[in-house]
Chain A
């Protein structure tokens, strides 16, 4: 039982490049979400999903896309990376939409 697995752990991109941050959970949780963490600002919700095929926007969705084709996976796509997207990204999952119990270890992204 691996919990929430995020890959890669570190990534450096050039402005304009695209990439996908992977998130997978093996706990059969319906609820999954993506946050970004910036110094002095706390974690902010990017996108979330309450089940396969259902996604919605969080607080800071611009520049990011998500899809949820399976219960296990919730990838986050950066279509055209910008320096403002330099951050640490966390994926989380929960068996209940009112509780977030399990966080991944994070992906540290730098956009040059």
Chain B
């Protein structure tokens, strides 16, 4: 059974720092991996999608990498800002069932001025 783990569970950093959020999964037979952002009391916003054949994706200050063989993905946030404060979730789809997203429990990020 696919399990997705995110470490750390919470992170508090000063504004301007570059930071890395980690996501690991137990079954490397994935179709793709997706990073989401969730603000308190709100739904999820898709940030980046990496197909299994890709190594990384970039969007603005965000860069997500994927190492399928080791079961790991990282989300790199450059020059963090207080507006980046949110919970970040990663989720994977299995090759044999692309209809189902398996989510990690998230990393709660706080960026203080």
Complex Cα spacing A107 to B99, Å: 22
Q: B93 in the interface, Cβ–Cβ < 8 Å? A: yes
Complex Cα spacing A43 to B100, Å: 11
Contacts from A to B (Cβ < 8 Å): 4, 31, 35, 40-45, 48, 50, 56, 58-59, 90, 92, 97-101, 103-106
B residues near A100, Cβ cutoff 8 Å: 34, 46, 101
Complex Cα spacing A41 to B6, Å: 11
User: What residue in chain A is nearest B31 (Cβ atoms)?
Assistant: A98
Whether B4 contacts A104 by the Cβ 8 Å rule is no
Complex Cα spacing A43 to B41, Å: 14
Whether B45 contacts A43 by the Cβ 8 Å rule is no
Q: B49 in the interface, Cβ–Cβ < 8 Å? A: yes
Contacts from B to A (Cβ < 8 Å): 4, 31-32, 34, 41-46, 49, 89, 91, 93, 98-101, 103-106
Whether B101 contacts A103 by the Cβ 8 Å rule is no
User: What residue in chain A is nearest B45 (Cβ atoms)?
Assistant: A103
Whether A97 contacts B99 by the Cβ 8 Å rule is yes
A residues near B103, Cβ cutoff 8 Å: 35, 42-44
User: Can you pick out 15 interface pairs between chain A and chain B where the beta carbons lie within 8 Å of each other?
Assistant: A40-B105, A41-B105, A42-B4, A42-B104, A42-B106, A43-B89, A43-B101, A45-B101, A48-B99, A58-B100, A98-B31, A99-B49, A100-B101, A103-B43, A104-B43
User: What residue in chain A is nearest B9 (Cβ atoms)?
Assistant: A40
Main secondary structure of the interface of B (DSSP, over half): strand
Whether A42 contacts B89 by the Cβ 8 Å rule is yes
Whether B42 contacts A42 by the Cβ 8 Å rule is no
Whether B89 contacts A98 by the Cβ 8 Å rule is no
The distance from the CB of A14 to the nearest CB of chain B, in whole angstroms, is: 24
Q: Given A90-B43, A90-B44, A105-B43, verify A98-B98 contact (CB < 8 Å).
A: yes
Complex Cα spacing A101 to B93, Å: 14
Q: Given A42-B104, A100-B34, verify A106-B98 contact (CB < 8 Å).
A: no
Apart from A42-B4, A101-B46: 5 A-B pairs, beta carbons within 8 A: A41-B105, A45-B100, A50-B99, A90-B44, A99-B32
Complex Cα spacing A112 to B66, Å: 43
